[in-house]
Structure 1
Amino acid sequence: MPVTRSVPLYVDPIAEAKRQWASHGWEDAATGMSAVTSVIRTQQLMLARVDRALKPFNLSFARFEMLRLLAFTREGRMPLASAIARLQVHPTSVTNTVNRLTRDGLVQREPHPEDGRAALVSLTPDGRELIENATLALNEVFIDVGMPSEETVELVRILARFRKSAGDFADPPPQPEPL
């Protein structure tokens, strides 16, 4: 688990690394290095908070995401291939997560009613109850991510622009004018 400190450091290690980068002749890369390192460290700090919130439910964030995705569907089930596409992680990771959730009785695999090669993943009643309770606990983290809400909104906008330019998603095609 990432290190979180009860006593903050007296020097920002990322600012010091940026200074060192520049002093070693890599000034053109120093700002980018500090941006990447800052995002990675921030992800570690946020994930530590998420992990603490989910620990009482014996859930990792990957397991939480899978259960929450299923709970958002009308029937609490979806094709495994759809879950893989929506979660944006390697198919093996999703399969392993589903296997562990199945072992724990939180989801079950079902044959697809129309495609014999495909499988559906569906929430069990225990899975539905657990995900609803875990979501309430995790929402406490989401309500206060550690910065003012206006800054949080701006951060999300900045990161969305970055993700879009990196090819993570595209704007939907424009809809035709009604006749």
Structure 2
Amino acid sequence: MVRPLPFDPIAEAGRQWDGQGWDESAAMQAATSIMRAQQIVLSRVDEALRPWSLTFARYEVLVLLHFSKQGVLPLGKMGDRLMLHQASITNLVDRLEQQGLLKRVPHPTDRRTTLAELTAEGRATVVDATKAVVAASVGVTELTDRDSADLNRILRKLRAGADDFDT
């Protein structure tokens, strides 16, 4: 385990950035903080999911299927909703299928489309794994509900500005 540094390296980078006379020091610090926070959150959530041999990416696939009406979605639609390349979805589905948590099924009316369907084991796993993720405060233990809502509101602006979704 890495011991905590005796100083905030992002604040120090900001000080050095300013010392060089470079613009956008606050933006650099915000971007770097987002990147580091993502590493921390992902590590915590992955640790919570370890008993099920899941990564956050595979867990997201299970949750997406769990939220669908029938537990079944076309692979292409899953890629769109999770904002992942089709090759990444294929890889995730392959791994989850190997684990017995979902299965591929043909689309009933479109031979070109393959569906992913949650298995009974997949349904049970997503419920149990979610309990562990919630117990880990979804990786943001230090944030209050208000902090989390504020952070989501702020980052939503960034996502909307990048055309992540229609506003």
Shorter-chain TM-score: what band? over 0.9
Structure with bigger RCO (C-alpha 8 Å, 6+ apart) = 2
Provide the C-alpha distance between the structure 1 equivalents of 2:159 and 2:112, rounded to a whole number of angstroms.
33
Provide the C-alpha distance between the structure 1 equivalents of 2:131 and 2:41, rounded to a whole number of angstroms.
17
1:30 to 16, 20, 25: 25
Provide the C-alpha distance between the structure 1 equivalents of 2:78 and 2:123, rounded to a whole number of angstroms.
17
Matched with 2:134 is 139
Matched, 1:80 2:75: yes
2:91 to 76, 80, 96: 96
Provide the C-alpha distance between the structure 1 equivalents of 2:35 and 2:92, rounded to a whole number of angstroms.
23
Provide the C-alpha distance between the structure 2 equivalents of 1:34 and 1:136, rounded to a whole number of angstroms.
33
| TM-score normalised by the chain length of structure 1 | 0.88
Amino acid at match of 2:109: E
Q: CA deviation at 1:90?
A: 1.2
Matched with 2:60 is 65
1:168 to 140, 160, 164: 164
Identical pairs, percent: 44
Q: CA deviation at 1:141?
A: 2.4
The gaps in structure 1 that reach 5 residues or longer are: 172-179
Write out per-residue CA displacement over residues 73-93 of structure 1, whole angstroms, 9 at most, x where no aligned residue.
221111111111111111111
Matched, 1:52 2:47: yes
Matched with 1:123 is 118
Q: CA deviation at 1:8?
A: 2.8
Provide the C-alpha distance between the structure 1 equivalents of 2:13 and 2:24, rounded to a whole number of angstroms.
11
Provide the C-alpha distance between the structure 2 equivalents of 1:135 and 1:123, rounded to a whole number of angstroms.
15
Provide the C-alpha distance between the structure 1 equivalents of 2:93 and 2:6, rounded to a whole number of angstroms.
44
Provide the C-alpha distance between the structure 2 equivalents of 1:11 and 1:118, rounded to a whole number of angstroms.
53
Amino acid at match of 2:44: R
Amino acid at match of 1:70: L
Which structure has the bigger radius of gyration?
Answer: 1
Helix, strand or coil: the match of 2:136?
helix
Write out per-residue CA displacement over residues 77-125 of structure 1, whole angstroms, 9 at most, x where no aligned residue.
1111111111111111111000111111111111100101001110111
Helix, strand or coil: the match of 2:73?
strand
Provide the C-alpha distance between the structure 2 equivalents of 1:56 and 1:84, rounded to a whole number of angstroms.
26
Q: CA deviation at 1:29?
A: 2.7
Q: CA deviation at 1:48?
A: 1.2
Write out per-residue CA displacement over residues 22-65 of structure 1, whole angstroms, 9 at most, x where no aligned residue.
11221x13222111101100111111110110011100001100
Amino acid at match of 2:124: E
Bigger drift between 108-117 and 139-148 goes to 139-148
Structure 1 outlier segments of 4+, above 6 Å: none
Q: CA deviation at 1:137?
A: 0.7
